[in-house]
Amino acid sequence: MHEAGFLMGKVSFKVCGPLQEDQRRGACVSFRRKIFLICLALLLTAAILAIGSFHVFLGMGNQMETLQDSISVSVKFIELEEFSGRLKLLMETWVATGDGKYKAESMIALERTVSVATDLRSSEIDQKLNDPLIRDLELLRSIMLSISDEPGSFEFATRAPEMYTLADSIIEKVEEMHASLIRSSLASIEASRKSRSGLTSLLATLVVVCILMVGALIMMVGRALDEPYSKLLEATERVAAGDLLYRIKENEQDSEFGLIASRFNQMVVNLQRANIDLHDKVWQTELLLEASRLSESLENLTPAMEQLVRSIAGKLGYDVCVVLRYDESAKSLMVLASSTGEYYHGDPVSLGVDAADGILNSPGPIRIYAEGGADELLDKMHDSDVLLVPITA
Q: Which residue has the higher pLDDT, 158 or 344?
A: 158
Q: 255-316 and 154-240 helices cross at what angle (nearest 10)?
A: 0
For 156-190, the pLDDT digits (tens) are 667 788 888 888 888 888 888 778 777 777 777 77
Q: What is the mean pLDDT of residues 234-261?
A: 76
Nearest to 254 by CA among 212, 223, 283: 223
Q: Is the pLDDT of residue 3 over 50?
A: no
The stretches of 244-377 forming alpha helices (DSSP H) are 255-316, 353-360
Q: What is the mean pLDDT of residues 200-213?
A: 79
Which residues partner with 392 through β-bridges?
A: 326
Q: Is the pLDDT of residue 215 over 70?
A: yes
382 pLDDT band, cuts 50/70/90, is very low
Q: Is the pLDDT of residue 11 over 50?
A: no
For 120-155, the pLDDT digits (tens) are 776 655 567 778 888 888 888 888 888 776 655 556
17 pLDDT band, cuts 50/70/90, is very low
Mean pLDDT of the chain: 70
Q: Where are the domains of the chain?
A: 23-217, 317-392
CB 316 within 8 A of CB 339: no
The model carries a pTM of 0.40
Across 94-133, b (16+ Cβ under 10 Å) vs e yields bbeeeeeebbebbbebbebbbebbeebeebbbbeebbeeb
